[in-house]
Chain A
Amino acid sequence: MSRTWAFASNYLIYSAMAVYTLAFLAHAIETAWAVKVPNDTTKTLDYTRTEKVARIATAMMILGFILLFAGVVTRGISAGRVPWGNMYEFSITGALAFTGAYLGALRKYDLRWLGLLVSISVLLTLGTAVTVLYVPSAPLVPALKSPWLVIHVSTAIISGGVFLLANVIAAAYLYLDNMETKGERTAWAKRLPSLEVLDQLSYRLVAFVFPLWTFSVIAGAIWAESAWGRYWGWDPKETWAFITWVAYAAYLHARVTVGWRGRRAAWLCLLAGSTFLFNYVYVNIWGTGKHTYSGL
């Protein structure tokens, strides 16, 4: 029975990858066509030409999200637990959270231009997951058997998804800012939001998710206390979670209290986000310590 579910999960994840590929292609076509839009002198672009394909792209992103969601859920059913027990499962859930953060933000802001980056990074994540990180579905080791697994890991994954989205936007900011200082934005880049909007958006994402990250770290500490006999032990994972926390705290202070905006804030945001990525990749795979659940 559990094997059937595990197979179903694998098929769903492969299907999601196929759909994300279509979404990526649609976004690529949208971007490419926008570049070709002629008579750029008016500064307003002909959106109608790419509107249809952009809608298809977004529809594909939603479909991919649904398939991936089903894939993650069936994976959980096949193992008889929440699907956050090893790095393969962290990755597919992380990709799900990232798409979810993008689609959630899309309801409020016009972020379709980000779709290209989101779809390619989700594809890369899933590709790595199914090729390098895959491990068969299995029950958990005793230390992971706790209700805190759900609370700690889900909040960490959601925080990570939103942090990375903020990172992508900060990177876009720096790229466009560079372009504007050199001269004018190229044709396709004119469709992207103004620098001010990007700046605000990455800040709001971080401000929104920082308390959740704080909660995730504290939930982890409570769990560590009951599983390992100490709530904080400077385990590499804990250390880097702390570094991420400190870096984002510095970012928020720099913005709110000191009034950093624009380039400097974007760089600080990127720095903070990269500490999170480092923690996920380096500490999970090559690191030592108690958080070695990658299954590799």
Chain B
Amino acid sequence: MSQQTELPELDSVGVLRYAWRQLTSMRTALILLLMLGVASIPGSLFPQRTQNPIQVGQFFKDSPELARWMDRFYLFDVYGSPWFSAIYILLFISLIGCVLPRTIEHFQSARALPPSTPKNLSRMEHHSTWIADGSELEAARVWFKSKRFRVLEKDGSISAEKGFARETGNLFFHLALILVLLGISFSSLFGMRGEAIINIGERFVNTPTSYDTLTYGKLYKDGNLPAFMLTTDKFDAQYNLETSAPEDYTLDISLLREGGSVVEKKVIKVNSPLTIGSTRIYLQANGYSPVVTVRDSKGNVAFQGPVPFLPQDSNLRSIGAIKVPDAEPQIGFVGSFVPTYVRDPNGGGALSAFPKALDPRLLLAAWAGDLGLDSGIPQSVYRIDTSDMLQVGLKSLKPGEVFEYPGGSIKFEGYIQWVNLNFVADPGKNFALLGGIVAILGLLASLFTRRRRIWIRVGTQVEVAGLAKNDAPGLDVEMEQFVRMLKGEK
């Protein structure tokens, strides 16, 4: 191979230049592009931490050895993995290295005139010739002007060129992709995303501690959280009576902004989030919170209030846990809430027949012992670790009913609904959108513009010829029109 013999003569600059040329070559770009496609596949086959952390946890539980190995290759974080990043960063470097010189070149040539008419037109395509009557050059001049060709007239010949928009569009398309990437990076630096479950009627103050989960971009600080306060006033869910499928969700809230003295009434729906400055608030999920009162054996209240339960199916059968660490011994209730009670035909448990609360029930198992809250191991609020506890009772309650177990009682007061709100600041998204729009316009310009040259030379004979770049179709038709026009035919 010839490169092998050349290599010893290359200094370090030469090697770098060689590497750069290789990286910015079209072939490399094409390989990187296909690699990017292939590299995206595993993320759609294996659960990803960013989308489905629970499934990832399940995977680790089911086959821990395999999961550990897969984790080493970032197969649960494909789109943030070093190898995925490496591919797209190399691709974008290659893209920049390819597009920037071409942009400069194109910018310079945009002001240049077309090259002068070749000496021998008969060797070009679409060549034809006939006896001149003297008016052709003027007619061609007018025709080129009306069709907005760029022309160079010299020695009784015109060289005309059209279709610069092709390269312009092509460059804009690629530059726009860079803009999309910049938008995404900007958001990952200055963005924020948080979630909170809020019972209807409760107040949410926008501070870090109010969130259930909260992640910041690398340069986002606590102080960047906009100051506001909102109260969830009313939540309305409409369901299809035949299929139980949800048809509409509406959340009414009262909003108090920073420095504002007036409480604003706002509505959040699934497809219309609420915008507060750069933060948008989305309605993502909803469910039921049974309201209970727990008393100890002396009748003192040990716990009172709503407890959010997690929906398990489309009819909102929900599960949850009520933890009372202040009781002595500690009491925990593992519960399930069904909005419209039906008996499970197999097994005798409770099922829900409809997502609206038409005949609500709260099924509880009471446990006494150590809740394990002081062990330091983080616990789910929806589950109880009963390994150090003893079951002391089991009961199904209608609203208003009381369940008395050895050492205390619990009253099912009723239920309220909760909503899960997503709070998102994504400051780069408008750049990404702009990039997307420019990319489409550039694409259209580059795919549907035909670049071609047409020449005419008039002496005693008229000679015309044309040349289409990239095998663009349609020049034959255009040349035919041109010739007919010159000959004065319609």
Contacts and interface: CB of A to CB of B under 8 A. Distances in A.
B426 A230 contact: yes
Nearest to B423: A229
B489 to A, nearest CB: 26
Contact of B282 (A145, A223, A229): A229
B44 A239 contact: yes
Given A145-B248, A246-B34, 14 more contacts: A141-B246, A142-B269, A142-B271, A145-B270, A214-B440, A215-B440, A218-B437, A234-B78, A239-B43, A242-B40, A249-B33, A250-B33, A253-B29, A258-B26
B287 to A, nearest CB: 15
A143 B245 CA distance: 12
Interface in B29-66: 29-30, 33-34, 36-37, 40-41, 43-44, 47-48, 50-52, 55
B435 to A, nearest CB: 9
Given A231-B429, A246-B36, A258-B30, A207 B447 contact: yes
B481 interface: no
Interface in B261-317: 269-273, 280, 282, 284
A230 B422 CA distance: 10
B326 interface: no
Contacts of B249: 142
Contacts of A226: 271-273
Given A229-B273, A239-B43, A246-B36, A218 B436 contact: yes
Interface in B47-99: 47-48, 50-52, 55, 78-79
Nearest to B52: A288
A199 B30 CA distance: 20
A2 to B, nearest CB: 12
A141 B245 CA distance: 7
A283 B440 contact: no
Contact of B424 (A141, A221, A229, A275): A229
A145 B361 CA distance: 32
A138 B51 contact: no
19 contacts: A139-B245, A142-B247, A142-B270, A145-B270, A146-B271, A208-B447, A210-B447, A211-B447, A214-B443, A215-B440, A218-B436, A221-B436, A235-B51, A239-B40, A239-B43, A242-B37, A243-B40, A249-B33, A283-B44
B284 to A, nearest CB: 7
- Residue among A136, A146, A250, A283 with most chain B CB within 10 A: A250
Given A138-B240, A226-B272, A257-B26, A211 B247 contact: no
A247 B39 CA distance: 12
Contact of B243 (A138, A247, A250): A138
B147 interface: no
Interface in B228-257: 240, 242-243, 245-249
A188 interface: no
A127 interface: no
A222 interface: yes
Contacts of A296: none
Contacts of B270: 142-143, 145, 227
- Residue among B30, B248, B282 with most chain A CB within 10 A: B30
- Residue among A211, A232, A256, A275 with most chain B CB within 10 A: A211
A14 B165 CA distance: 48
Contact of A253 (B30, B78, B193, B269): B30
Interface residues of B, number: 53
A254 interface: yes
A258 B27 contact: yes
Contacts of B242: 138
Nearest to B91: A246
Interface of A: 136, 138-143, 145-146, 200, 207-208, 210-211, 214-215, 218, 221-223, 225-236, 239-240, 242-243, 246-247, 249-250, 252-254, 256-258, 275, 283, 287-289
A249 B32 CA distance: 12
A288 B41 CA distance: 14
Nearest to A268: B34
A140 B243 CA distance: 11
Contacts of A231: 426, 429, 432-433
The 8 tightest CB contacts between A and B, nearest first, are A229-B282, A246-B37, A142-B270, A236-B44, A218-B436, A239-B44, A146-B271, A229-B422
Given A227-B270, A257-B26, A138 B245 contact: yes
Contacts of B284: 228-229
Nearest to A227: B271
Contacts of B272: 226
Nearest to B437: A218
A253 B271 contact: no
B43 A234 contact: yes
A86 to B, nearest CB: 11
B199 to A, nearest CB: 21
A138 B36 CA distance: 39
Contacts of A143: 270-271
Contact of B246 (A142, A146, A229, A246): A142
Contact of A218 (B280, B424, B440): B440
Interface string B465-480: 0000010010000000
B340 to A, nearest CB: 19
Contact of A139 (B30, B184, B240, B424): B240
Nearest to A149: B271
Contacts of B184: 232
A262 B184 CA distance: 38
